[in-house]
Chains A and B, each alone.
Chain A
Amino acid sequence: MLQDYLVPKTIDQALSHLQNNNGKARIIAGGTDLLLDLKEGKKEAGILVDITRIPGLKVITMENGVVRIGSAATHNQVAKSDIIREKALVLAQAARSVGSLQIRNSGTVVGNVLNAQPAADTAVALTALGAVAEILSPAKKEYLPVEELYAGLGKSTLDSTSQLLTMVQFPALLKNQGSAFERLEQRKALALPMLNVAVVVSLSGEQFEWARIVMAPVGTKPVRATESEAILKGARATSELIEKAAGAAIAQANPRDSALRGSREYRLEVLPVLVKRALESAVAQAKGNF
């Protein structure tokens, strides 16, 4: 049963609300996950602490080659942001694919990550970007890679009744780098992904310096296709190579049978197609930037 709804104006206020209520107060951002979870009894909260009016948390910035996204920034803000579109296209594409425009206007990228669904679109993209989260507790400030925020299916390592995630940050992509997001979905809006894949590549001439490939839902959290990445590292970016790397991705994928979003078998078979397509566009982008 809800007892209060608080709208702090500063980060300190938000933190002290959490502290003063000893685990009874919980952070709410857009509420697009939390409200349903509360209604269905999956989560409980006596007091909600709404962080979306804290001015510093709504911003998206780039400084010294580092992109920062505040935890109150919405999917739509991210999808439309010039910074994100130029420096991390994969994330703009992922954010654009979430739910509907209305959901994107309420839901936040950080909330998406913290809800810890394996195929949370922006979490998949942020993992590929190597994003790191800044987490404040009353006593300390710490930095954790986004993938380490997953504790299990639908469970975050972060305790939203005592900790506040303030922003995620990652290096802006350079001119020789490219990124792309591919998504298999049953319709163009209001559909959770059957599969989604995010890749970031770095080229040196015709050669891959490195690539990061993340896929979902093929495990309890976004999964790195490290074997595919290894195939690409240092090799020439040919379509044969991309095909090979894409095929290798299934070795690390362990999707479930879903009555709603495709069988394990189907998803395993189609996954390489998405990886291939994502790699192809990321490579094209990296080359196009020269």
Chain B
Amino acid sequence: MKEYDVIGKNVRRLDAAEKATGTATFSTDFSLPGMLHGKVLRSPYPHAKIVSIDTAEAEKLPGVKAVATYQNTPREIFNTSATMAFTVPALEPVLDQYIFDNIVRYVGDEVAAVAAVSEKVAEAALELIKVEYEELPAIFDPLEAMEPGAPDIHPNCSAGKNIPGEIVKIPFGDVDKGFVESDVVFEGRFKLPVQKQAQLETQAAVAQVGADGKITVWSTTQTPHPSRSILAKVFGVPESKVRVLNPPYVGGGFGVRIGLSAKAEPIAVALAKLAGKPVKVVYSREDDFIASDTRHGGYVSIKLGSKKDGTFHAMELKGTLNTGAYCSFGCETPGVMGAMGLAVYRVPNQSYYGHSVYTNTSPAGAMRGFGNPQAMFAIESAVDMMAEKLGMDPLELRLKNIMQVGDPWCLPYPCQSTGLAECIEKGAGSIGWDNRNSLNQPGAKKLRGIGAGVGTHVSNAWPFCVDYDNAYLAVQQDGSIHLAAGVPDIGTGTSTTLPQLAAEALGVGLGEVSLTFGDTATTPFDIGSHASRTCYAAGTAVVAAANDARRQVLEYAGDFLNVPPERLDIKGSVIYITGQELGEQCAGTGVCQTGAGTSVCETGEKRNSVSLRDLAYHAHLRNKQFIGVGRIVPGNAPPWQAHFAEVEVDTETGQVKVLKVAAAHDVGKAINPCIVEGQIEGGVLMGVGYATSEEITYDAKGRQLHNSLHKYMLPTAEDAPEIDAIVVEASDPTGPFGAKGVGETGLVPTAGAIANAVYNATGIRFYEIPLTEEKVYRALKQRV
């Protein structure tokens, strides 16, 4: 294996010191002179027409500087998610939102906003706004919303009643024939909960509109560049006059702000324009819960056919997802769900049919895994049941059918790497798979069980979205490196891994590199941090930029040292002739400083190396700088995962306790293993929550019941199981140094593994998550 100097090492994150000392700036910390505070009035009804709206009293309240409604803000239709800026032609983005509309479609929908000298005054003003609503019929379940008599939530749904965009159909082989030819068929329908990202920093934006009309927005977005495109369109200004940036840190994302941070940005800009002052909009935790995207809940049906010997022969997958009141990523999510669901196993005959449905609930959009965890809960449950029908060990069945390099699949890029078999082997070892049928004493009230699940994912957004990337890298006059990439760091470590990649590619130390990121004004276009793409796609652009700069450096150094550039290499910021011992380095004084650069040192010795520092300065004095540009269109590559869960089920109360998750992940190459483990561990715990406790439900009036961190049952430190994150590296030729995506993968197979473990413990199969105590208790009772 190749030895690397900078990558593959657990270097401290470059943002760690700021974050550990409280000096890191987040949007919620950001302020400007004269800044006002904005607060949003939200609909109490799930579906209603605004008959009248009277803001006079609110405007009179001392300290109030502007009140915005649908009557005095742009009526440009948009989509808060970045799909608006990167839908792949010939598909068209679904545009279905205004900043404010005269119809509200869910409890929490924006009705008006106030900018005032303080949050308290703004809140008081909201209470003075008089709104008269005419209630409209509302619907909350996606299946009911497709019925002919259901209310239309948006007009023009050409694909079907309340279905946004188009229906995703993925045909592969001949599925009907495949089932006829199968010996054993399993069929089932699974129900999925609404999960919430619950990133720790709520949605926030600070907007400033200059006297020249230029708009600057500091916000929590995961995608500054696409957000700029959306804002430019909404406010009717050229993109070049809009700047969107992170300040620069973002308190988590998990998909909730791919595109705008819900409506924090457009509301802040609208208020700033009306008030003539900068405006800060910070969502309360309740705002964040009810009025920013959730994960899609809904239904997945699966039919799986196998030959007697356990060779999968046909698979049919159907998804009906609840996208809530607005489409957001409601078209892409079912697409990824189907494509990823079909990509795990080698099945010659497959088909997928999926779409979203509008309902009068909070909008659903992107959340870590993006449809994939939904699909894999169903698929991995089905595969376990198939193993039982066939009388095979579930792992053996999986190993027999998992996709191999070069296998045909439904995706438009080849499978060029897989470490899944190794993941299965290592994960099984960690959990003690072989003990799984001897964990319980007869008569025990608490039953233990072990289950497994596997999965794959993407390493960037293509072919589901436009995906290309850019970076530039400038060798400074002293030989240090300035790197610029448009992608943000939402906590995933981008601002460390990108400099690691640049340093490795160029041959300099990490300390030489500094990165500008997450800012449309100072970085080239990038589609943002999502789709597990940052290290893979933005990383590829960074490596390309570094290679470009390196080529320029070596050419110049070749002239300087009088050797062909091919004979040169760079290590530790020294350019040297390969195969020769490093000569005495110039100390950075003398010849180069004077501009008399020569391949002969002051001492008269012939040089066989030169420091980047000297070379860059030498070049500078001769009107030259080394600037590398990376402009890439990434391929795509499959990361693979195998999760193993051990659970304990209290049969008297129904409580499921996850004791351990062994999570083995093929990440191609771990550029920073510690960061990779962190991604896996965090993903796993979110997957444990998805499987066992996290869910947003609504009451009969469409109000969220789980609208706070106290009511929404995400795991605390005291709930976390032991997590064994295992890194497997099956290098992919398309990724930077072989790396593949990891960010979303941590929870792809977790729910399936846990449900299978509960089955192993109790013999009860669950077609619905989360596995709450009451649900499990009920099932245990029914069996008795």
Residues of A participating in the B interface, judged by any CB pair closer than 8 Å: 100, 184, 186-192, 194, 259-260, 262-263, 266, 269-270, 273-274
Task: Compute how far the CA of A54 lies from the CA of B655 in the bound complex, rounded to whole angstroms.
Answer: 43
A259-B778 CB under 8 A given contacts A186-B713, A190-B710: no
**A190: chain B residues within 8 A (beta carbon):** 709-710, 716
**Is B440's CB within 8 Å of the partner chain A?**
no
Task: Compute how far the CA of A213 lies from the CA of B37 in the bound complex, rounded to whole angstroms.
Answer: 52
- Taking a contact as CB atoms under 8 Å apart, the answer to whether B718 and A259 are in contact is no
**A263: chain B residues within 8 A (beta carbon):** 774
Task: Compute how far the CA of A277 lies from the CA of B718 in the bound complex, rounded to whole angstroms.
Answer: 22
Task: Compute how far the CA of A188 lies from the CA of B711 in the bound complex, rounded to whole angstroms.
Answer: 13
**Is B719's CB within 8 Å of the partner chain A?**
yes
**A100: chain B residues within 8 A (beta carbon):** 716
Task: Compute how far the CA of A269 lies from the CA of B652 in the bound complex, rounded to whole angstroms.
Answer: 9
Q: B227 to nearest A CB, angstroms?
A: 33
A186-B718 CB under 8 A given contacts A259-B697, A259-B699, A259-B705: no
**A100, A263, A270 — which one has the most chain B CB atoms within 10 A of its CB?**
A270
**A187: chain B residues within 8 A (beta carbon):** 693, 713, 715-716, 718-719
**Is B717's CB within 8 Å of the partner chain A?**
yes
A189-B697 CB under 8 A given contacts A263-B774, A270-B777, A273-B652: no
**Is B59's CB within 8 Å of the partner chain A?**
no
- Taking a contact as CB atoms under 8 Å apart, the answer to whether A188 and B652 are in contact is no
Nearest to A276 among chain B residues (CB) is B652
- Taking a contact as CB atoms under 8 Å apart, the answer to whether A266 and B716 are in contact is no
**Is B773's CB within 8 Å of the partner chain A?**
yes
- Taking a contact as CB atoms under 8 Å apart, the answer to whether A273 and B706 are in contact is no
**Is B653's CB within 8 Å of the partner chain A?**
yes
**Is B772's CB within 8 Å of the partner chain A?**
yes
Task: Compute how far the CA of A266 lies from the CA of B699 in the bound complex, rounded to whole angstroms.
Answer: 19
Nearest to B698 among chain A residues (CB) is A259
Task: Compute how far the CA of A224 lies from the CA of B370 in the bound complex, rounded to whole angstroms.
Answer: 49
B716-756 interface bits toward A, Cβ cutoff 8 Å, 1 = contact, 0 = none = 11110000000000000000000000000000000000000
**Which residue from A188, A259, A270 sits with its C-beta under 8 Å from B653?**
A270
Nearest to A184 among chain B residues (CB) is B653
Task: Compute how far the CA of A49 lies from the CA of B360 in the bound complex, rounded to whole angstroms.
Answer: 45
List 22 A–B pairs whose Cβ atoms lie within 8 Å, in order of A's numbering. A184-B653, A184-B655, A186-B693, A186-B713, A187-B716, A187-B719, A188-B716, A189-B716, A191-B710, A192-B710, A194-B773, A259-B699, A260-B706, A262-B774, A263-B774, A266-B773, A266-B774, A266-B778, A270-B654, A270-B773, A270-B777, A273-B653
**A191: chain B residues within 8 A (beta carbon):** 710, 713
Task: Compute how far the CA of A262 lies from the CA of B713 in the bound complex, rounded to whole angstroms.
Answer: 13
Task: Compute how far the CA of A274 lies from the CA of B773 in the bound complex, rounded to whole angstroms.
Answer: 14
Which label, helix, strand, loop or mixed, suits the secondary structure of the B interface? loop
**A260: chain B residues within 8 A (beta carbon):** 705-706, 711
Cβ-closest 10 pairs across A and B: A188-B718, A189-B716, A273-B652, A266-B774, A189-B718, A186-B713, A187-B719, A188-B719, A259-B705, A270-B653
B647-676 interface bits toward A, Cβ cutoff 8 Å, 1 = contact, 0 = none = 000001111000000000000000000000
Nearest to A194 among chain B residues (CB) is B773
Residues of B participating in the A interface, judged by any CB pair closer than 8 Å: 652-655, 693, 697, 699, 705-706, 709-711, 713, 715-719, 772-774, 777-778, 781
Q: B689 to nearest A CB, angstroms?
A: 9
**B693: chain A residues within 8 A (beta carbon):** 186-187
Task: Compute how far the CA of A158 lies from the CA of B37 in the bound complex, rounded to whole angstroms.
Answer: 40
**B655: chain A residues within 8 A (beta carbon):** 184
Q: A105 to nearest B CB, angstroms?
A: 16
- Taking a contact as CB atoms under 8 Å apart, the answer to whether A270 and B652 are in contact is yes
Nearest to A274 among chain B residues (CB) is B653
Nearest to B689 among chain A residues (CB) is A187
Q: A12 to nearest B CB, angstroms?
A: 35
Task: Compute how far the CA of A273 lies from the CA of B655 in the bound complex, rounded to whole angstroms.
Answer: 12
Nearest to B652 among chain A residues (CB) is A273
Task: Compute how far the CA of A194 lies from the CA of B654 in the bound complex, rounded to whole angstroms.
Answer: 13
**A187, A188, A263 — which one has the most chain B CB atoms within 10 A of its CB?**
A187
Task: Compute how far the CA of A194 lies from the CA of B693 in the bound complex, rounded to whole angstroms.
Answer: 14
Task: Compute how far the CA of A274 lies from the CA of B715 in the bound complex, rounded to whole angstroms.
Answer: 23
**B653, B654, B709, B719 — which one has the most chain A CB atoms within 10 A of its CB?**
B653
**Which residue from B718, B772, B777 sits with its C-beta under 8 Å from A269?**
B777
**B710: chain A residues within 8 A (beta carbon):** 190-192
**B773: chain A residues within 8 A (beta carbon):** 184, 186, 194, 262, 266, 270
Nearest to B713 among chain A residues (CB) is A186
Task: Compute how far the CA of A269 lies from the CA of B773 in the bound complex, rounded to whole angstroms.
Answer: 12
Q: A87 to nearest B CB, angstroms?
A: 26
Q: B42 to nearest A CB, angstroms?
A: 16
- Taking a contact as CB atoms under 8 Å apart, the answer to whether A186 and B716 are in contact is no
Q: B302 to nearest A CB, angstroms?
A: 29
**A186, A260, A269, A273 — which one has the most chain B CB atoms within 10 A of its CB?**
A186
Task: Compute how far the CA of A270 lies from the CA of B654 in the bound complex, rounded to whole angstroms.
Answer: 9
Q: A209 to nearest B CB, angstroms?
A: 28
Q: B214 to nearest A CB, angstroms?
A: 39
**A194: chain B residues within 8 A (beta carbon):** 773
Q: B668 to nearest A CB, angstroms?
A: 35
Q: B565 to nearest A CB, angstroms?
A: 61
A186-B772 CB under 8 A given contacts A100-B716, A273-B652: yes
Task: Compute how far the CA of A187 lies from the CA of B653 in the bound complex, rounded to whole angstroms.
Answer: 14
Nearest to B651 among chain A residues (CB) is A273
- Taking a contact as CB atoms under 8 Å apart, the answer to whether A189 and B717 are in contact is yes
Task: Compute how far the CA of A273 lies from the CA of B697 in the bound complex, rounded to whole angstroms.
Answer: 28
Nearest to A186 among chain B residues (CB) is B713
Q: B693 to nearest A CB, angstroms?
A: 6
Nearest to A262 among chain B residues (CB) is B774
Nearest to A188 among chain B residues (CB) is B718
**A186: chain B residues within 8 A (beta carbon):** 693, 713, 772-773
Task: Compute how far the CA of A192 lies from the CA of B710 in the bound complex, rounded to whole angstroms.
Answer: 8
Task: Compute how far the CA of A273 lies from the CA of B773 in the bound complex, rounded to whole angstroms.
Answer: 13
Q: B709 to nearest A CB, angstroms?
A: 7
**A270: chain B residues within 8 A (beta carbon):** 652-654, 773, 777
**B653: chain A residues within 8 A (beta carbon):** 184, 270, 273-274
Task: Compute how far the CA of A189 lies from the CA of B772 in the bound complex, rounded to whole angstroms.
Answer: 16
Nearest to A195 among chain B residues (CB) is B653
Q: B387 to nearest A CB, angstroms?
A: 32
Task: Compute how far the CA of A288 lies from the CA of B312 in the bound complex, rounded to whole angstroms.
Answer: 59
Task: Compute how far the CA of A269 lies from the CA of B655 in the bound complex, rounded to whole angstroms.
Answer: 14
Nearest to A277 among chain B residues (CB) is B652
Task: Compute how far the CA of A270 lies from the CA of B709 in the bound complex, rounded to whole angstroms.
Answer: 26
Task: Compute how far the CA of A259 lies from the CA of B706 in the bound complex, rounded to whole angstroms.
Answer: 10
Task: Compute how far the CA of A263 lies from the CA of B717 in the bound complex, rounded to whole angstroms.
Answer: 27
A100-B716, A191-B710, A270-B653 known; 12 new pairs, CB 8 Å cut-off, are A186-B713, A186-B773, A187-B715, A187-B719, A190-B709, A190-B716, A191-B713, A259-B705, A260-B706, A266-B774, A270-B652, A270-B777
Nearest to A187 among chain B residues (CB) is B719
A189-B774 CB under 8 A given contacts A184-B653, A273-B653: no
Task: Compute how far the CA of A262 lies from the CA of B718 in the bound complex, rounded to whole angstroms.
Answer: 22
**A188: chain B residues within 8 A (beta carbon):** 716, 718-719
Q: B651 to nearest A CB, angstroms?
A: 10
Task: Compute how far the CA of A189 lies from the CA of B781 in the bound complex, rounded to whole angstroms.
Answer: 28
Task: Compute how far the CA of A186 lies from the CA of B693 in the bound complex, rounded to whole angstroms.
Answer: 7
Nearest to B718 among chain A residues (CB) is A188
Task: Compute how far the CA of A262 lies from the CA of B719 in the bound complex, rounded to whole angstroms.
Answer: 19
**B711, B773, B774, B777 — which one has the most chain A CB atoms within 10 A of its CB?**
B774
Task: Compute how far the CA of A270 lies from the CA of B719 in the bound complex, rounded to whole angstroms.
Answer: 21
Nearest to B445 among chain A residues (CB) is A273
Q: B720 to nearest A CB, angstroms?
A: 9
Q: B686 to nearest A CB, angstroms?
A: 14
Task: Compute how far the CA of A262 lies from the CA of B776 in the bound complex, rounded to whole angstroms.
Answer: 12
Q: A83 to nearest B CB, angstroms?
A: 25
- Taking a contact as CB atoms under 8 Å apart, the answer to whether B719 and A189 are in contact is yes
Task: Compute how far the CA of A186 lies from the CA of B709 in the bound complex, rounded to whole angstroms.
Answer: 13
**B717: chain A residues within 8 A (beta carbon):** 189
**B719: chain A residues within 8 A (beta carbon):** 187-189
Task: Compute how far the CA of A194 lies from the CA of B715 in the bound complex, rounded to whole angstroms.
Answer: 17
